[in-house]
Amino acid sequence: MGQKVSTEDFIWTYTEQPHSDRRREIVKKYPEIKKLFGIDPSLKYVVSACVILQIFAAFLLKDSSWVLIFLQAYFFGGIVNHALTLAIHDISHNTAFGNDWPLSNRFFGMWANLPISVPMSVSFKKYHVEHHRYLGEDALDTDVPTEFEAKFFTTPIRKLLWLFLQPLFYAFRPLMIYKKAPTDLEIINAIIQVIFDLAVLYFFSLKSLAYLFLGTFLAMGLHPSAGHFVAEHYVFSGAQETYSYYGLWNLVLFNVGYHMEHHDFPYIPGKNLPKVREIAPEFYDNLHIHESWITVLSTFVFSPSMGPYQRIKRPASVPQEVYGNYALANYLKPVQRVFQKFLETIYVIKKSNWSVKNK
């Protein structure tokens, strides 16, 4: 149990990520794959059902014992909340309302965020774009562990602790690696979330709020559903950077296991990702896949060849950007211009009427 990992550095490469080239090759050979792009019409209803289900569960548990709160959070509510975090992942690619309605997608993400109890929807979108665009690039992809994580969590016990604390690392790692100024929508996301949490606390109970928060923390940490965090990009085979999993967890986690397909086509909704492999199987059949996320977690913990260092990294291709996109302000600018023109038109009409009366 005390055996340390054998790696002492990340796996550095100086080539581009494989997904762009594979995307071009697939589209060239199968142009019909473009039909899979766009909106998932069912996403709005499935996500809303999950949100309402969690609020109802929090109400039912408001006077329950703490033992039942923990059990329900781990075995039920945590899975629903984890599913909602992955719905937010899908929504961040504008698959709920399409690319023509980015603000609708952001506010729908805030709706999906409510039972998670911690504001994360807008911030996730901000950093997740970089993860796709600059996969594995130093100081740009915050999905890659820090040097501290890689050097400290090197024994099975420490790696087990790292898995348990994974939600905290995902929350605070961007603040260490890639500091960005908060945007207007992030502030709105936080305000809405605090109001919701206080409402749960006031109308239900502390146990109801604890159920929601613990579900998020437990299911994103040492939980079978959290296996995808390690399975997606930690190197298990040769120099392969991204891995897919085609098992049952996809049924409740919005097909997040189809991760090679997702990185090849980020704007295909999770619902349609299995069709990518059906259309272009020869591009994926020879790649390593994971059969079990539990096996992934146990291998990560007990194998001396696995640890936080087992990630492919690239030198940064661009400098960091501190200031993000102030989406709400940008959205309101054209509205402001229309309203200003409306007021100017009224002013001109009134001035014209006044001139006519004075004559």
What pLDDT, in 10s, does the model give residues 183-219? 999 999 999 999 999 999 999 999 999 999 999 999 9
At residue 2, the pLDDT reads: 58
Q: And the tokens for 125?
A: 């979108």
pTM of the predicted model, to two decimals?
0.89
Q: Which of 21, 347, 85, 346 is nearest to 215 (CA)?
A: 85
CA–CA dist 328, 278 (Å, integer): 39
Contact 324, 25 (CB under 8 A): no
Contact 181, 43 (CB under 8 A): no
Find the angle CA(286)-CA(287)-CA(289) to the nearest 5 degrees: 125
Residue 236 clears pLDDT 60, i.e. is over it: yes
Contact 50, 83 (CB under 8 A): yes
Confidence of residue 357 (pLDDT cuts 50, 70, 90): low
Mean pLDDT, residues 155-182 taken together: 95
DSSP designation for 221: S
